Chains A and B, each alone.
Chain A
Amino acid sequence: MTVKLTVVRPGALTTVQDRGRRGHAHLGVPRSGALDAPAMSLANRLLGNAPGAAVLETTLTGCALRPDRGVTVVVGGAPCPVTVDGRPTAWGVPVRVPAGAVLDAGGVTAGVRSYVAVAGGIAVEPVLGSRASDLLSGLGPAPLRDGDVLPLGAPAHQPALPDAAPWPAPPTELTLPLRLGPRADWFTPAALRTLTSATYRVSQHSNRIGLRTEGPPLERVSAGELASEGMVLGAVQVPPDGRPVVFLHDHPTTGGYPVIGVVAETALAAAAQAAAGTPIRFTVA
């Protein structure tokens, strides 16, 4: 029989995420998927789930859930207090939640996004091969609301428990290695120096679409318009205000502002956990 999770407190923004959708960018479908993919994978591994089983991604304020049968969960990613029926329990390791009890992943003490993985994975219907909620195009399940009920898949019989769970701490300073291009030649040499020498900060307007930054504007060689072109994950797009935006998983598949460089995908998990105000240094890899 299918186990169901009822949403008791959805938090500021909690979405279902997995590894996202590939191969549909030419139709305007973003990749989507967990912004901190290593955290999702580790939480799943601790439960014996497939690394890309669907999990819940919370934003700053966590969420609370009530299973109708006993389940095992892991809350990882951004550290936060975890309680079961109000009693404190462990973060970052498997925890048993009895039938009808409320699991609460609280507000983050650092970082931005916590991941709530449940043995068996969240089993909402996949759309184009993924269960991920895509905020830009509205594919996949909508962000959680009070009273939503989520089905779970069948748990693994023998979770392959690792010896230790190496959860990285959220960054207090973010280093983003980028490769210049494809439109680095749209910027002045001074702008390229500014990008790699100035300190930027994570803007509070960041979201799953992009990490917005505050800092000195990057000057372009000319004010001409770029015709719309395909955008990759990690692209550093520079809108007319000159402040770089690092594209995260829900980014538009095409865009009309020049991309000065592309941040390595391996650096994006830390970017997803960098709170507003975190200093950013761009380096040329």
Chain B
Amino acid sequence: MTPGRSVGAPTQSRSVEVRPAGRHALLVELPDAERTGAFHAELLRRRAAGTLPQVEEIVPGARTVLLDGVAHPEELARRIADWDVPSRADDDGGVVEIFVRYDGPDLGQVAALWGVGVDEVAARHSAYTYRVAFCGFAPGFGYLTGLPAELHVPRHDTPRTRVPAGAVALAGPYSAVYPRATPGGWQLIGTMPDPAPLWDLSREEPALLTPGTRVRFVAETQDGTP
């Protein structure tokens, strides 16, 4: 897998590029988030059907899927280049609802960036259905896509030293909920009152938001009811 041989030079087929990542891993690069999600779903389908060779980790990113712990990466790279990947149906999988109190310290700034009143932020943010594109940063932290381009907002220049668990946040194309208190540079627009389900080690699947999961935010009213 040294560059210049087989997968070393990116394999071009149906705009999929397969790049080597060390001796046992492949980084599959796709043109956009939509096709990345579809390719990830296809990998999971093939793994469930037993037609994917042994792979230890399947890690989606924004426009890539990493396959790590692959016994014969060069062979798999050649096969991937020939795959026909169907696009993903919009209603593929169930929807997780997350209740949000829209009370974040950056509501005003986001409203200004969106050119709307503060009250309108909740209505807009909760109007879309999102999908977990990938996870990272902290266990249970999902990067949710689905916000239209005109609503993308920049990160803060200087991150906060502490963002509380349950903070509902925006940055670039993504929306997210912080599963635990960490430093963070995203714009905080609200609070998930009970963030415990985001990461619960007592469950068989500890993460509430796994790659591919669809998510809807539901605004809570003033009296705390949805």
Contacts and interface: CB of A to CB of B under 8 A. Distances in A.
Contacts of B69: 22
A127 B203 CA distance: 11
Residue among B58, B60, B61 facing the most chain A CB atoms (10 A cut-off): B61
Given A230-B27, A230-B64, A232-B22, A180 B59 contact: no
Contacts of B143: 228
> What's the dominant secondary structure at chain A's contact region?
loop
Contact of A182 (B20, B63, B140): B20
Interface in A258-285: 259, 262-265, 284-285
B23 A179 contact: yes
B161 interface: no
**Chain B residues touching A, majority SS:** strand
Given A181-B8, A229-B63, A25 B25 contact: no
Contacts of A25: 57, 59, 66, 68
Nearest to A236: B22
A118 B181 CA distance: 35
Contacts of B8: 180-181
B207 interface: yes
A128 interface: yes
B27 A229 contact: yes
Contacts of B3: 180-181, 184
B59 A253 contact: yes
B163 interface: no
A284 B63 CA distance: 27
9 contacts: A25-B59, A127-B201, A128-B201, A139-B139, A228-B136, A229-B61, A229-B63, A253-B59, A253-B135
Interface of A: 22-29, 127-128, 137-139, 179-184, 227-232, 234-235, 252-255, 259, 262-265, 284-285
